[in-house]
Amino acid sequence: MIEAIRNALRIPDLRKKILFTLAIIALYRVGAHIPVPGVNPNDVKDLVQGAGSALGLLNLFAGGALENFAIFALGIMPYITATIIMQLLQAVIPTLERWSKEGEAGQRKITQTSRYLTLGIALLESLGLLTVFQAPQSSGGLGIDFSFTNEILIIISLVAGTAAIMWMGELITQRGIGNGMSLMIFASIVSRFPQTIVASFQVNTLLMVLMLLISLAVVAAVVFMERGQRRIPVQYAKRVVGRRVYGGVGTYIPLKVNGANVIPIIFASSILLFPTTVARFFTNVAWLQQFSAALSSGWLHILLYGTLIVFFTYFYTALVFNPIDTADNLRKNGGFIPGVRPGKGTAQYIENVLNRITLPGALFLAAIAVMPQILFQQTGDPLVQAFGGTSILIMVGVALETMRQLESQLQMRHYDGFFK
């Protein structure tokens, strides 16, 4: 691995991309410590740390910017939510579905629409945070009475910060190495580790060492599942054109065990956070507060969380991989699966295989996400959440994807990569 990094730094083009990526990530981390004017960050920090899992997940993805109430306090979540919504809407809105099949031109339209939707979501989340800050302390707020000018300034700062994050992520994707948005989430999660480790050392050293060992085991399991796939063999018929023979080669269709990656966890978290967000707008409705509290923590939250992850794993996998389209493409190109009828039979075979391998992937995602919450409920140590399965899954997935991109760049230039 060290030799591969050295090889990457020897190549001027790759070195420029790596340094550019690191510079943008450093700029992103600086923005996470620039406070929004008009609010005391210490009050917000107490509120976020006392909110349990409701605001804790948002603070995790923002790299602590929410508890600092920085200009990047909303983090990457508005963009992630907008992207997921756009992908779901492609299945029900004909215009979006048509755009998705128009190639690069259609993708540009979808990207532009996602940007506008991101800013709209950021505006709503900004208004929600203002409502929380202005709510009385007896209702879990800060009891701050903002002037109209301060409200406008806070909203503009947060929405502009979200736009800047989106712009920096796209810059990394276009001119750097890896996926920009994923790397910024990676940087946010990693930035929380030193502070949490130091705090946990002071509280319980034995627990911290035990959690580090468990985390290493989880990393190994995540790597194993991320690289796991079922390969369906495909054979292409031979074609004779003149004196030349074309086709006849064998290949395969790779179906990943965890094809949905971390998307089901993020979407399930967003669904469970929605009642909490709504409840903060209606602090006087007792039953809504009780319902929100039940969904924010406890065994009901854990049960629903795991169930939603399994559901969205199947849902998202079916959304991004269509067996019927795959079977049609195989038939049009003269390909077939040995022992399976082309057309409808092939589509049914691929769907059955996909359903079988998605189940262990869905259960693995649910276990990875739920187990840290169970441990946190029993111990109350923040290290459990910081080294939680969701964090590790995101970090390992992003690291592997970035290494694959560097690998392909190195192999194009006849260098040995990471995966020998």
Q: From CA 331, how far away is CA 236, in angstroms rounded? A: 9
C-alpha angle 163-165-168 in degrees, rounded to nearest 5:
110
Tell if the pTM clears 0.75, that is, is over it: yes
Q: Do domains 1-191 and 193-387 have the same CATH topology?
A: yes
Residue 418 has pLDDT above 60, yes or no: no
Q: From CA 162, how far away is CA 393, in angstroms rounded? A: 24
Which pLDDT band, with edges at 50, 70 and 90, does 420 fall under? low
Q: Is 103 exposed, middle or buried (0-12, 13-18, 19+ CB in 10 A)?
A: exposed
| Class at the top of the CATH hierarchy for domain 193-387 | mainly alpha
Cα–chain-centroid distance for residue 347?
A: 29
Which pLDDT band, with edges at 50, 70 and 90, does 246 fall under? low
CB distance 305 to 373 below 8 Å: yes
Question: Given this model, what pLDDT does residue 10 score?
Answer: 75
Q: What is the DSSP letter of 139?
A: G
Q: From CA 43, how far away is CA 50, in angstroms rounded? A: 11
- Kindly state the average pLDDT of the residues 195-217: 71
CATH 3.40.50.2300 fits domain 1-191:
no
Task: Tell me the domain boundaries of the chain.
Answer: 1-191, 193-387
For residue range 129-177, list pLDDT tens digits in order: 787 777 776 666 667 777 788 889 989 999 999 999 999 999 998 888 8
Question: Given this model, what pLDDT does residue 118 score?
Answer: 92
DSSP 223-281: HHHHH-EEEEEEEE--EEETTEEE---EEEEEEETTTTTTHHHHHHHHHHHHHHHHHTT
Give the lowest-confidence range in 141-150, 202-211, 248-257, 339-348: 202-211
Residue 87 has pLDDT above 60, yes or no: yes
